């Protein structure tokens, strides 16, 4: 696992989006393969997003994933460390 990027790093948002997608996917009890199937994306693509490969993806992609996970898209951008402090 890569180290968490700093807030001024361009990869910072990709880091948290990947962590949040993984969190909500696991809450539903789905594997990466199941999420990929439901989104009609490849399992490798979902894995790249979740595993901090920092593959470029669109807001449309995130919106689609959020709809499949049944979460508001803004939740994919939340800093998990801040969530845990609440």
In angstroms, the CA 33 to CA 65 distance is: 13
Residue 60 maps to which CATH number?
Answer: 1.10.260.40
41-83, pLDDT tens digit by residue?
A: 999 999 999 987 767 889 999 999 999 999 999 999 998 666 5
Has residue 6 been placed in a domain?
no
> Does position 1 have pLDDT exceeding 70, yes or no?
no
Q: How many domains does the chain have?
A: 1
Contacts of 32 by beta carbon, 8 Å cutoff, 6+ apart: 25, 43, 46, 47, 50
Has residue 7 been placed in a domain?
no
Has residue 2 been placed in a domain?
no
Q: What is the mean pLDDT of the chain?
A: 87
Has residue 75 been placed in a domain?
yes
Has residue 5 been placed in a domain?
no
pLDDT at 11: 78
SS3 86: coil
pLDDT at 79: 82
DSSP label at residue 79:
-
| 60: containing domain | 12-85
Has residue 60 been placed in a domain?
yes
Quickly count: other Cβ atoms within 10 Å of residue 69's Cβ. 22
CB 5 within 8 A of CB 12: yes
Say what the pTM is.
Answer: 0.84
């Amino acid at each position: 696992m890569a180290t968490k990027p700093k807030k001024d790093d361009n990869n910072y948002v990709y880091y948290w989006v990947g962590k949040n997608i993984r969190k909500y996917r696991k809450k539903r009890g789905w594997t990466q393969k199941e999420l990929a199937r439901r989104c009609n994306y490849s399992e490798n693509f979902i894995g790249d997003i979740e595993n901090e490969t920092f593959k470029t993806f669109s807001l449309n992609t995130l919106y689609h994933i959020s709809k499949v996970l049944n979460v508001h898209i803004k939740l994919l951008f939340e800093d998990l460390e801040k969530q845990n402090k609440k």
